[in-house]
Amino acid sequence: MKIAIGCDHGGYLLKQDILIWLEENDIDFEDVGCYSTDSVDYPIYAERVARLVAGGECDRGIVICTTGIGVSMAANKVGGIRCALCTDSLQAEMTRRHNNANMLAMGAGMIGKNMAERIVEVFLSTEFEGGRHERRVGLLDAIEG
């Protein structure tokens, strides 16, 4: 599994923690930035991650800003992306099981390092249930802007 990951300046420090966690767990990733706490525009980085996932170069994506709201909105503008903003591990589990989310958004100002690591762990290890949820995910994917 290969993960695309990106953030804005507000998510930079938490992204660094997640990169360490990914390395410790031997998970391949592509870091698209940003690379410091200098102010940047979050849509640029969320779109980069979303394009890698939508294009099939990466299996899942993780985006981080201060609240997680902006990056999730930006990512969801890309066709084929189902990005879920999660603040706990149950949300991460359920969005994978029922929504087949292919991207995770988190807010660095909303959750700490330990919770973020647990959310990522659950998001990456939980499989989509399919079944009755398959139809609903198909309906989500059919919505056009």
Cα 16 from Cα 108, distance rounded (Å)? 11
DSSP codes, the chain: -EEEEEE-GGGHHHHHHHHHHHHHTT-EEEE----SSS---HHHHHHHHHHHHHTTSSSEEEEEESSSHHHHHHHTTSTT--EEE-SSHHHHHHHHHHH---EEEEETTTS-HHHHHHHHHHHHHPPP--THHHHHHHHHHH---
Q: Which one from 34, 65, 83, 86 is the annotated catalytic residue?
A: 65
Give residue for tokens 């994978």: 96
Is residue 65 part of the annotated active site? The answer reads yes
Let me know if 98 is a catalytic residue.
yes
The catalytic residues are 65, 98
